[in-house]
Chains A and B, each alone.
Chain A
């Protein structure tokens, strides 16, 4: 569990990982050298480095991310939530395939850029086996989460948006609690109604709303993530 200057929600996230028998620890930026020893990484929400320049831009290029990027390339599981998702996109890990250059971003909400804080539902939009992280979810699983961001709208150039669809990178979409997907359920104007993106290989998942904030409710996503990490 990476902790950058400005990270928040790390305690809640670790608590939830441990609730599903994950052996999770906080690793602050001063201990970045210990990161290669871990089997998987979670990047929590917050405002790493105050989101200077752009959301996630500095953290994505921080030394803390070098072992994460290296581990992701070698197949380790990486889950980014909210600011963590922004960081993964800035680092080019998601959707990936761009030599480290970002091809998409979670950016300023539409239509007005206001910070939103509301409970939402997200729906699994790919085959659960598309990603090891989602592999224990039911097809089309609908889960509650908290959207708490001013920059959660997926944006990319038209060709890159098409590539996200073609490559089945849109792992989660915003939905109504009954699973109906429409613009009314999308709180931030996100392109493709996207709430989460997965990389080509399926081992890096970036989710914008916070699944950990529904605690103590059951979090199928965290359970599935921990199960995948603990798999032999």
Chain B
């Protein structure tokens, strides 16, 4: 079986905060930004896949990170997946919410990508279906 594993910081994510400030400076009404690295894993069970990701010292530090299995193979409401066009880079999930905690609509997500989160020369974005 194959699953997407999300690797997130357990402590404050300075990059997500920087993205929040930068997006707000472009006029996008966003109040919360969360970020996770997406890792494609294959294994006999979800636990085995999590364990495999947690053994990869390049992306996982048990003091800093937590990993969980993504149930869906595509972005959820308020979420953007940004992919490198070349092999070998990292894929990232960006979760954007408004001041009430509601996920931003896809049109606003696209604006966020155009403004900051995706460089179309080297990356492509996926949005909620």
Contacts and interface: CB of A to CB of B under 8 A. Distances in A.
A104 interface: yes
B101 interface: no
Contacts of A155: 85-86, 121-122
A102 B119 CA distance: 6
B36 to A, nearest CB: 14
A118 interface: no
Contacts of B25: 61
B99 interface: no
Interface of A: 49-50, 52-54, 57-58, 61, 89-90, 101-105, 107-108, 110-113, 155-157, 160
A108 B88 contact: yes
Interface residues of B, number: 20
Interface centre among A49, A53, A61, A111 (most CB of B within 10 A): A53
Interface in B72-114: 84-86, 88-89, 114
A102 B120 CA distance: 7
Interface of B: 14-15, 18-19, 22, 25-26, 84-86, 88-89, 114-117, 119-122
A57 B89 contact: no
5 contacts: A50-B15, A53-B19, A104-B121, A156-B121, A157-B85
Contacts of B117: 53
A117 to B, nearest CB: 20
B93 to A, nearest CB: 13
A105 B22 contact: no
Interface centre among B14, B15, B25, B115 (most CB of A within 10 A): B15
Given A49-B18, A52-B19, A102 B121 contact: yes
A105 B123 CA distance: 10
A101 B88 CA distance: 24
Interface centre among B14, B115, B119 (most CB of A within 10 A): B119
B69 to A, nearest CB: 25
Contacts of B86: 107-108, 110, 155
Given A61-B116, A108-B86, A108-B88, A156 B122 contact: yes
A53 B18 contact: yes
A61 B119 contact: no
Contacts of A157: 85, 120-121
A52 B121 contact: no
B18 A52 contact: yes
A104 B117 CA distance: 15
B88 A113 contact: yes
B116 A53 contact: yes
B120 A101 contact: yes
Given A53-B116, A61-B25, A155-B86, A105 B18 contact: no
